[in-house]
Amino acid sequence: MAPRTSSKAATLAAAAYFAIAALCIGYELSVRLFDRGNSEFAGMLSFALTLPSALAIALFAGLIFGVRVGDSDATFVVILGLAALANAGIIFAIGKAMRRG
C-alpha cells in the first residue's frame, strides 16, 4: 500500500509546484504584456522559482537556438515553462524515491 501513497504524494507535490510556477509565469507575462514601461524585472521571480532547470535550459537555448529568456514573450514562456516542467519531474522522481526505502 505504501507505493500507492507515495505515488499520490509525489504527484500532488509535483502538480502543486507546477501550478505555482505556471501562475508566476502567467503573472509576469501579464506584466510584460500590459505594462511594458515597468517590466524591467518581470521574469526574475519566475526564473528564481524555476532554478536550477532554468539555468540549464536558458544556457542550452542560448547555445543551440541563439535565444534568451527576455528576447520575446514567446521565448519567455517556453523556456521558463520547460524549466518548470523539468523541475516538476525532478520533484516527482524525488517524491517517488523517498518512500521506496
Q: What is the mean pLDDT of the chain?
A: 92
| Model pLDDT, residue 100 | 66
> Using CA of residue 27, residue 87, residue 54, residue 66, what is the dihedral sign?
negative
d(CA 72, CA 57): 16
| Model pLDDT, residue 24 | 97
pLDDT digits (tens, 9 = 90+) for 38-78: 888 989 999 999 999 999 999 999 999 999 998 999 999 99
Using alpha carbons, list the distances in angstroms from residue 89 to 16, 38, 61: 12, 33, 19
Q: Is the confidence at residue 88, as pLDDT, over 90?
A: yes
